[in-house]
Amino acid sequence: MNTEPLKNSPIRNKVFIDKGVGDHKRLSDTGWNMLNEEIGLPAAVIYQEKIEQNLRWMQSFADLSQVLLAPHGKTTMTPYFFKQQIAAGAWAITLASAHQVNAAHQHGIQRIIMANQLVGKFNMQLISNALVDPAFEFYCVVDSLDNIRQLDDYFTGQGQSLNVLIEVGVEGGRCGVRNANQAKELALAIKQTPALNLVGIEFYEGVIHGDDAETKIEEFLLSVVRLTEQLITSDVFENKQVLLTGAGSAWYDLVANALTQVDVNARILPIIRPGCYLIHDNGIYEDAQNEVLERGGLVCDVVGELVSSLEIWAYVLSIPEPGKAIIGMGKRDVAFDAGLPQPSLYYRPQSEDVVSADSRWRVRDIMDQHSFMTTPLDCSLKVGDMVSFSTSHPCLTMDKWRKVCMMDQQFTVRDVVDTYF
Amino acid sequence: MNTEPLKNSPIRNKVFIDKGVGDHKRLSDTGWNMLNEEIGLPAAVIYQEKIEQNLRWMQSFADLSQVLLAPHGKTTMTPYFFKQQIAAGAWAITLASAHQVNAAHQHGIQRIIMANQLVGKFNMQLISNALVDPAFEFYCVVDSLDNIRQLDDYFTGQGQSLNVLIEVGVEGGRCGVRNANQAKELALAIKQTPALNLVGIEFYEGVIHGDDAETKIEEFLLSVVRLTEQLITSDVFENKQVLLTGAGSAWYDLVANALTQVDVNARILPIIRPGCYLIHDNGIYEDAQNEVLERGGLVCDVVGELVSSLEIWAYVLSIPEPGKAIIGMGKRDVAFDAGLPQPSLYYRPQSEDVVSADSRWRVRDIMDQHSFMTTPLDCSLKVGDMVSFSTSHPCLTMDKWRKVCMMDQQFTVRDVVDTYF
C-alpha cells in the first residue's frame, strides 16, 4: 500500500512537519521564535544554556572524583547530545540495546558500553556490522553461560571477537550474577571462549530500594569491589586495565567513591554511567540529586548545580469551568509515570513578557492528548495562552519526541535535534 | 553540530536501522521471518489477519447501526491503516491535533474530523495549508468565544473559511460547553462570524466514569440529542446536513443508538469515532468490549469479534534467579499505564513451533528497558528464547514505535508501516 505523500494535490512534495517544530525547510538555526508562535505546540523544548550547565556539572564531578564518565544515552537517544558529552570529556556513551548502539555509532560515537545483555541473532548482527569499523570500541555485559555460548557461536562465525564485562546483580534485583561463585564460573567459561574477551565488571545499584537503600548499596558496592579484587588476583581478565563500572543517576556519588577504593587500583578503569543528569527534571531526579547533595562529599565542590533543562510548551485549549483549564498536552507528549508535569512559565501571545506560572496551578490528571490543570477560580488564564511544564523522569518524556527544539533565552530556536528511539 | 552518519568509516552510507525491524534495504514485502531472527527484538508486530478482522467488524457494526464511522486515528497515527479504514467504508478519519491532521492529509486522507480545539497560530497555519487542497474536507470543534475570535482572526486573514462543530461536554469533564445556553451563545456567535461555518455538534462521552456511568452516559446522550434538535429548530446550522458525532471505543453502541434517535433525523449525519478497536487489546479495551457485548443490541448481530492484533516480541535476556526472567522489553516499548503486558506466545529459536506462553508466566514490574516476569521455579525458559506479549491501551504502545511489522501467520513480515506520532 502506498503511503507516500499525495501525488495529485497542490501540496505535493511538501515536506511532512513533525510534532513540535516549525516549517521543515529551515531546520538549522531556524530563527523560529516560539513566542511569535512559529512552532506548533505542544513542543518539547530544551534550553541550551541549562543543558550545557548540566553537561559541565557532571563532567566536573567525574573529573574531581577521578572516575571516567560514560553517560547513559538511553535517556535522550539524541546523538547531538552524545557528541556534546564526548566533546566535554566523557570517555564513552552507555546504551541499553543493539538498536541504540547502532544509532549512536552511525552518528559517530566511537566508544560504547552496552550495559545490557546482547541477545538474538539480528541484534548480534547489528553489533557485528559496527565492529567492521576498526575505530569502534564496544563493550557489552554477560550474566549467563547460555548467553556466552550464543555470543561465541555468532561471533566465531563472523571471525570477530567481543569485549564483555560480567554483570553483577543483587538478589531480588534485575540482571546479573548473584554471588562470587557464579561470577567466577562465568569468568572461567569466558576464558575458554576465544571469541570473548573478559575486560571488566559491571553493575547497576539503582534496583536497590527501600528505607535502608543507602546501607544496602554501600554493602553491595563493597561486595563488588571485593569480587573485582579477587578476580584480578585470579588473573581472569584479558586486558591490563580492568573496567569497573556502575551508577545510575541517583547514587553516582557513592559509586564513584567505591570504584576508587579497589586495592589493586592501578589496574582499574573506574567508570560511572549516570544519564538523567543531562536533562534533569523537577521530579524524581531533582529529589535524588538533593539526596546526593545531602550526603555531601566531592559533589559539594562542583561549581553550580543541575537544573531542569527540558520543558513542554502547550496551549490552553479550553476553560470549560471556572478553576479548570484543559491543556493541549497529554500522555503522548510527556512522562506521567513518576509524577505529573508541573507548570513553569506562562506567556500570552502578543504580550510583552514570559512570566512564572502561578504557583497555585496544578496538573491533576492526564489523558492521551490533554492535561487537566486546576487554577484559582478568579484566574485570568484564557484559551490560546501558552504554559510550559517541567517534568519528572526525562527518559519517558524524550521518547515521545522525534525532534526537540534547542532554545536560547529569547525563546528562539537555535537548532532542532533528532532523537533515535 | 553535524549529526550525519559517519563520513570516514567502513559503514558510511549504511542506512540507519529503526527499532524493531530488519535491514532497511528491503522495506516492502521483505520476506524477513521473525522466527529466523531476521528482525531485531524487541519489535512491535501487528498480525495482518487480525487487524483486518477488526477493521471489518467495526465497519459492519456501523453499517448495521446506520451510522457513519470516522475512526479515531490518534491510536495508530499510521496512514497505512487510515487508508485501509477509508477503503473499508469509513466516512472520515478523526484526529486530535493539527500535527496529526497534517500527517494524515499529506498521506492522502481527504476528510478529517479534528475532535479537538484548533488553537495557536502555527497550528492554524498547518490547517490553512491543507485547506489549499480543494479536495480536503475538514472539521474541528469549538467551545469558547475566545477560540471563535482567534479562528476568525486567522482564517479571515487567509481568506479561508472553517467548518466547526460545537463541543458539548459534561460538568467535571474535559472540553466542551456545559449547558444548552452556552451552546446557543456559541451558535449565535459563530453565525455572526463569516470565517466559520457551524455544521454540527460534537461530544465525547468517555470522560464519564463511575459505577453509574451507563446511566449518566444515557442521560448525557439524551441531553445532546435534545440540544441538537433545539439548535436545528433555531436554524443555526449553515449546512442542510448536520453532523452529530461522539463515541470513543467503550460506549460506541450506546452512542450509535442515541445518534439515530434525533427527531429531525433527516438532517442528521450520525458519526461514531471509536479508535482502539482496530488494534484492540487484552486489557482495558477487551474489558470495555465485553461490556458492550453484555449490553447486547446490534453488536450481537455483527459476525466475528474484536481480537488483540498487536504484540511486542522480545528476548529473555537473563534468568538471574529461579522463577524470574528478565525480558528485553520496557516502558520504551509498551504501554504500562492500564495494566502490564501479558505473555502470549513462546518460541525457542531453531525449534519447530511457536506455542502458547505458559499461563503461569506473569509480568510483575517494568523499567525503561526491561520487564520482570515470574515463572514457575522449574521453568525450562532459557536466555535467548522469544516471548510475545499482548498489551493494554494500544495508543500508548503504538507511540513507542516508528515502524511496525505487519506479519502473516507464518511470522513473515509482509510490510513495514510508518507511524507519525
> ipTM of this model?
0.95
Tell me the one-letter amino acid at B403. Answer: K
Mean pLDDT rounded to a whole number for chain A: 94
Pairwise CB contact (< 8 Å): A147 & B384: yes
Pairwise CB contact (< 8 Å): A19 & B421: yes
Distance CA A141, CA B155 (A): 58
pLDDT, mean of residues A92-120: 97
* Residue B97 C-alpha, separation from nearest chain A C-alpha, in angstroms: 8
Residues forming beta bridges with residue A342, ordered by sequence position:
A390
Pairwise CB contact (< 8 Å): B122 & A332: no
* Residue B271 C-alpha, separation from nearest chain A C-alpha, in angstroms: 21
Query: Looking at the complex, does the CB of residue B28 fall below 8 Å from at least one CB of chain A?
Result: no
Query: Looking at the complex, does the CB of residue B41 fall below 8 Å from at least one CB of chain A?
Result: yes
The SS3 of residue B115 is: strand
Query: Residue B152: CB partners within 8 Å, gap ≥ 6?
Result: B193, B194, B195, B196
Strands B324-327 and B310-321: antiparallel
Q: By mean pLDDT, which of A92-96, A110-114, A387-391, A393-397 is the weakest?
A: A393-397
Distance CA A44, CA A417 (A): 11
Pairwise CB contact (< 8 Å): A150 & B384: yes
Pairwise CB contact (< 8 Å): B120 & A384: yes
* Residue B103 C-alpha, separation from nearest chain A C-alpha, in angstroms: 7
Q: What is the pLDDT of residue B26?
A: 57
The answer to whether the Cα torsion of B363, B365, B368, B371 is positive or negative is negative
Nearest CA in chain A to B122: A40
* Nine-digit cell string for B395: 495508543
Q: Which residues between 183 and 222 in chain B have a beta carbon less than 8 angstroms from any beta carbon of chain A?
A: none
Distance CA B180, CA B168 (A): 9
Distance CA A171, CA A163 (A): 26
Nearest CA in chain B to A177: B320
Distance CA B398, CA A357 (A): 33
Distance CA B270, CA B277 (A): 19
Q: Are A310 and A46 in contact (CB under 8 A)?
A: yes
Please tell me which of the candidates B17, B129, B415 has its beta carbon nearest to residue A126: B17
Of A180, A394, A192, give the one whose Cα is nearest residue A282: A394
Q: What is the pLDDT of residues A293-327, one digit of tens each?
A: 999 999 999 999 999 999 999 999 999 999 999 99
* Residue A331 C-alpha, separation from nearest chain B C-alpha, in angstroms: 8
Distances (CA, A) of B270 to A151, B63, B255, B261: 59, 11, 9, 10
Query: Looking at the complex, does the CB of residue A101 fall below 8 Å from at least one CB of chain B?
Result: no
Of A279, A249, A301, give the one whose Cα is nearest residue A398: A279
Strands B43-47 and B403-407: parallel
pLDDT beneath 70: ranges in chain B:
1-15, 24-29
pLDDT, mean of residues A356-374: 98
Distances (CA, A) of B199 to B135, B238, B244, B251: 18, 6, 9, 24
Distance CA B103, CA B419 (A): 10
Query: Looking at the complex, does the CB of residue A178 fall below 8 Å from at least one CB of chain B?
Result: yes
Distance CA B135, CA A9 (A): 8
DSSP states of B275-333: -TTTT--SSHHHHHHHHHHHH-GGGGGSSS-----EEEEEEEEEEEETTEEEES--TTT
Query: Looking at the complex, does the CB of residue A147 fall below 8 Å from at least one CB of chain B?
Result: yes
Distance CA A14, CA A5 (A): 8
Q: Indicate if the pLDDT at residue A403 is higher than 90.
A: yes
Pairwise CB contact (< 8 Å): A349 & B121: yes
Q: Indicate if the pLDDT at residue A146 is higher than 70.
A: yes
Q: What is the pLDDT of residue B10?
A: 41
Q: What is the pLDDT of residue B239?
A: 84
Of A367, A372, A327, A324, give the one whose Cα is nearest residue A346: A327
* Residue B147 C-alpha, separation from nearest chain A C-alpha, in angstroms: 6
* Nine-digit cell string for A367: 489523558
Nearest CA in chain A to B316: A119
Distances (CA, A) of B117 to A2, A148, B155: 30, 55, 15
A-chain residues near B331 (CB < 8 A): 337, 395-396
Q: Are A172 and A216 in contact (CB under 8 A)?
A: no
Q: What is the pLDDT of residues A13-28, one digit of tens each?
A: 456 789 999 876 655 5
Task: For residue B42, say if its preceding peptide bond is cis, omega within 30 degrees of 0.
Answer: yes
Burial of B382 (0-12, 13-18, 19+ CB in 10 A): middle
- What's the N-to-C CA distance of chain B in angstroms? 25
Query: Looking at the complex, does the CB of residue B338 fall below 8 Å from at least one CB of chain A?
Result: no
Q: What is the pLDDT of residue B28?
A: 58
Q: What is the pLDDT of residue A8?
A: 43
Query: Looking at the complex, does the CB of residue B22 fall below 8 Å from at least one CB of chain A?
Result: yes
Q: What is the pLDDT of residues A231-290, one digit of tens each?
A: 999 999 988 899 999 999 999 999 999 999 887 777 899 999 999 999 999 999 999 999
A-chain residues near B171 (CB < 8 A): 321
* Nine-digit cell string for B39: 528482525
Pairwise CB contact (< 8 Å): B399 & A400: yes
Tell me the one-letter amino acid at A296. Answer: G
Q: Indicate if the pLDDT at residue A351 is higher than 80.
A: yes
Please tell me which of the candidates A5, A11, A317 has its beta carbon nearest to residue B175: A317
Q: What is the pLDDT of residue A29?
A: 56
